Structure 1
Amino acid sequence: MDSPFQTLREVFRAEYTVNFSVERPGGGILMTLANDAGIALRQFIAAERLNCRRRATCLRASWGRGRPPPTR
């Protein structure tokens, strides 16, 4: 079974460099997607969502068309 980090990295690696950092003691993480143009997305992922069996599908669907929204 792949870890959530491996799964997310695999989903986005064709277009982005994927980095993770521990954001909260409860298990939440901050995922950063970047490319040659800079940071494309910083997304907090709660522990519950990170452990979702469909995590990559859930995240991509929430961003629509498989591309993350630009950062603010």
Structure 2
Amino acid sequence: MNNPFEQISAAFAPEYRVNLSIERLDGSIMLTLSDDSGVVAKRLVSEAQRNDPVRLQRVIDSIRLGLAIELGQNPLEVLAALTHPQRCPATTLAN
């Protein structure tokens, strides 16, 4: 997937509503994830992060880890699933 906006949306939908908005003149965007209870995460994504697939995936993984911890999941298990997705099904992560 080459489009970073689609990559971000695909990483968190349908579990969360994904809103991307231009935040700064430097090209940064604000990613807001929400559900029926309200906003669950907000992250500023720089232009450099957005345009580098490796860095963008790290941002996505970081957000997933934070969400999983907030949901009471074991951080070590979540990290293992993020670093070795073939061993741990993606459904175990808070997307």
Higher relative contact order (CA 8 A, sep 6+): 1
- Structure 1 residue runs of 5 or longer lacking an equivalent are none
Counterparts of 1:10 and 1:63 in 2: how far apart (Å)?
Answer: 14
| Map of 2:18 onto structure 1 | 18
Runs of 4+ in 1 over 4 A off after TM superposition: none
Q: 2: distance between equivalents of 1:69 and 1:20?
A: 23
Q: Name the structure with the higher helix share.
A: 2
Structure with bigger strand share is: 1
Paired residues in the alignment total: 69
Identity fraction in percent: 29
Q: Call closer, same or farther: CA 1:6–1:64 in 2, change over 3 Å.
A: closer
TM-score, length basis structure 1: 0.79
One-letter amino acid of the structure 2 residue matched with residue 4 of structure 1:
P
Equivalent residue, structure 1, for 2:51: 51
